[in-house]
Amino acid sequence: MESSFQVMVARTEFIRSRPLLGHAVAVLLAFGALWVRFALGSALNGYPLITWFPAVLLAAFLGGFWPGVTASVLGGFLAHRYLIAPDAPINALWPVGVVAILFFTINVSIIVGLTSGMLDALKRFRQSESALQSLNSELERRVAERTKALHAEMTERNRAETALRHLQKMEAIGQLTGGVAHDFNNMLSIVIGSLDMARRRLTGSELPQLPKLLENAAEGARRAATLTARLLAFSRQQPLEPAPVDINKLVAGMSDMLRRTLGEIIEVETVLSGGLWRTFVDAGELENALVNLAVNARDAMPNGGRLTIETANADLDDRYAMAYADVTPGQYVLVSITDTGTGMSAEVMERAFDPFYTTKDIGKGTGLGLSQVFGYVKQSRGHVKLYSEPGQGTTVKLYLPRFRGTDAPKPVPQAPAMQGGSRDITVLVVEDDAQVREMTAASVHELGYNVLVANDGAHALALLKAEAIDILFTDVVMPGLSGKELADRAWQERPALKVLFTTGYTRNAIVHNGVLDQGVALLTKPFTLPQLAAKLNEMCGG
């Protein structure tokens, strides 16, 4: 808090800041001292200069150094003019001589010097104090900005760590579900193959209910196969066959189908961006993802609403990528699906992509729709972002990497086609699982082909040297020689040999990063008899 003296100095600063006003005050004070001296009369006889000391002090305080000097010089002149006889000799006598003049000069010099110095010191102090306050204010501002920046960095870091933990959790669940799906696919291969064989051989005359029972069993097996396919999609282990895709054409082509699927109470709107980039994805799986999202949106709008599908070009920068550990900065094609439904709470959003998690009633959902979409987009090296609020609807944004090429990769040339469905065509079935091998061989034989079997790669190589094999139908994951190694050795001896791979587990030699190797023919487990027939017919050129 400032003292009363500092306050007084501050209030008189306007006089010192105006030199003419300061000198005018000095002149008034000098004449004022003369008036006081006359007013006191004989009381100050012998002290002709004494009343000018306060005047000089006040002039120096109010006006500064030079007004103080003005008051001093004018005071001495007035005293000599009006209080000291003009004819008084200039000598060392008091109070009219040299001694009096020197005494006055020395004292007013001290008064003016000290007062001016004090004012200058106080001015510098106030300037220093002001500079210090400014520095403190600047420091506080910088500290506040840095604190805000650190808080933002901590928020971004926490969000990134949360996203990383979620990604690691999803990776762990994906590995578990992928392994389960692999084993389950082998079991389903036996079940589905056996049911297909039974339906081909049994007419229903044996038992009237038999066709219906077989159909029910087959439907259950198909649903189980669909379930494992979704698990593989979530775990990013489904084999993809990507190609350059125009998302605008794909969405436009799906519009009518979505309107029929969702029903009349759901309004379907598409907003397609002009100049949209192409992306390199599996178009069929992308259609499945969009259908899954549309069905989820329909279920969130039981009383009707609007579903909007938008496309746009998007750039995800480094700052965005820092917040999401699984995002690579770059250019993406954005597909945004928005509904006007019930929305999700923060707790539901956090688990929305977890497999088997659903808020639907029992029997109305598997909890694999969003997880399948998540796995597919991640396997396609894209990014999924979910926005939702209770009562405000939901938006799912799919970011798919931009394709900068000019065309799809050229397929590997195939050997000349053969005519299929004949005992003249020999298929070598290679499978390490005895039951699956037996079922597969029976299915191939049922389709009219001559069949040989081998339980491993070494046995298969021996048969290839000894027999006229037209098609090698081999599992990929086997002990010893893998299916791919077996095929490579066989092609060295017989370049024209046709090879059909089968597997229930895609992390192997013919599928890399979820993408099927170029030119590879693959039939994923579990497969039905019609699917096997179509694939073998395709291999034979039929």
Q: Which residues contact 220 (CB under 8 A, 6 or more apart)?
A: none
Residue 8 half-sphere exposure toward CB, CA atoms < 13 A = 7
| Residue from 535, 446, 534 nearest 193 by CA | 446
Find out whether 364 and 414 touch, Cβ atoms under 8 Å: no
Amino acid at 256: D
Q: How confident is the model at residue 419 (pLDDT cuts 50, 70, 90)?
A: very low
Mean pLDDT is lowest, of 240-254, 297-311, 414-428, for 414-428
* pLDDT value at 364 more than 60: no
Distance of CA 412 to the CA centre of its chain: 39
Find out whether 386 and 352 touch, Cβ atoms under 8 Å: yes
Find out whether 471 and 539 touch, Cβ atoms under 8 Å: yes
The whole-number average pLDDT for the span 273-281 is 90
* pLDDT value at 34 more than 70: yes
Q: What confidence score (pLDDT) does residue 204 get?
A: 60
Find out whether 383 and 336 touch, Cβ atoms under 8 Å: no
pLDDT tens digits, one per residue of 476-491: 878 888 888 888 888 8
Mean pLDDT is lowest, of 93-102, 105-114, 207-216, 434-443, for 93-102
What is the enclosing helix (H) or strand (E) of 46?
none
Please give the Cα distance from 352 to 340 (Å, whole number): 18
Q: How confident is the model at residue 253 (pLDDT cuts 50, 70, 90)?
A: confident
Find out whether 29 and 73 touch, Cβ atoms under 8 Å: no
More confident residue, 171 or 61: 61
The whole-number average pLDDT for the span 246-250 is 91
Q: What confidence score (pLDDT) does residue 93 get?
A: 54
| Residue from 328, 330, 290 nearest 314 by CA | 330
Q: What confidence score (pLDDT) does residue 398 get?
A: 92
Q: What confidence score (pLDDT) does residue 173 get?
A: 60
| Angle, helix 52-63 to helix 19-40, in steps of 10 degrees | 160
Cα 447-453-457 angle, rounded to 5 deg:
130
H helix intervals, 400-450: 434-446
* pLDDT value at 236 more than 50: no
Cα 179-183-184 angle, rounded to 5 deg:
110
Q: How confident is the model at residue 277 (pLDDT cuts 50, 70, 90)?
A: very high
The per-residue pLDDT of the chain, averaged, comes to 77
More confident residue, 270 or 352: 270
* pLDDT value at 352 more than 60: yes
* pLDDT value at 327 more than 70: yes
Place of tokens 């039905």: 528
Domains of the chain listed by start with CATH number: 243-401 (3.30.565.10), 426-539 (3.40.50.2300)
More confident residue, 439 or 235: 439
Distance of CA 98 to the CA centre of its chain: 92
pLDDT tens digits, one per residue of 73-90: 888 778 777 776 544 555
Q: What confidence score (pLDDT) does residue 2 get?
A: 57
Using CA atoms, how far residue 463 sits from 445, 477, 478, 493, 539, in Å, is 18, 19, 17, 13, 20
Find out whether 10 and 3 touch, Cβ atoms under 8 Å: no
Q: How confident is the model at residue 420 (pLDDT cuts 50, 70, 90)?
A: very low
* pLDDT value at 345 more than 60: yes
Find out whether 516 and 510 touch, Cβ atoms under 8 Å: yes
243 beta partners: 281
* pLDDT value at 67 more than 70: yes
Q: How many Cβ atoms are within 10 Å of 142's Cβ, its own excluded?
A: 10
Mean pLDDT is lowest, of 272-281, 316-325, 364-373, for 364-373
* pLDDT value at 313 more than 90: yes
pLDDT tens digits, one per residue of 328-340: 888 999 999 999 8
Give the dihedral of Cα atoms 176, 181, 187, 190; nearest 10 deg.
-160
Q: What is the pairing mode between strands 393-401 and 522-524?
A: unpaired
Place of tokens 């081999």: 474
Please give the Cα distance from 369 to 234 (Å, whole number): 9
Q: How confident is the model at residue 311 (pLDDT cuts 50, 70, 90)?
A: very high
Please give the Cα distance from 184 to 182 (Å, whole number): 5
Residue 296 DSSP SS3: helix
Q: What confidence score (pLDDT) does residue 333 get?
A: 92
Assign residue 539 a region (left: φ > 0; alpha: ψ between -120 and 50; beta: otherwise): alpha
Amino acid at 504: G
Mean pLDDT is lowest, of 216-220, 249-253, 264-268, for 216-220
Please give the Cα distance from 60 to 488 (Å, whole number): 108
Find out whether 91 and 98 touch, Cβ atoms under 8 Å: yes
| Residue from 254, 345, 238, 235 nearest 293 by CA | 254
More confident residue, 297 or 420: 297
Q: What confidence score (pLDDT) does residue 285 get?
A: 81
| Residue from 485, 209, 466 nearest 474 by CA | 485
* pLDDT value at 286 more than 70: yes
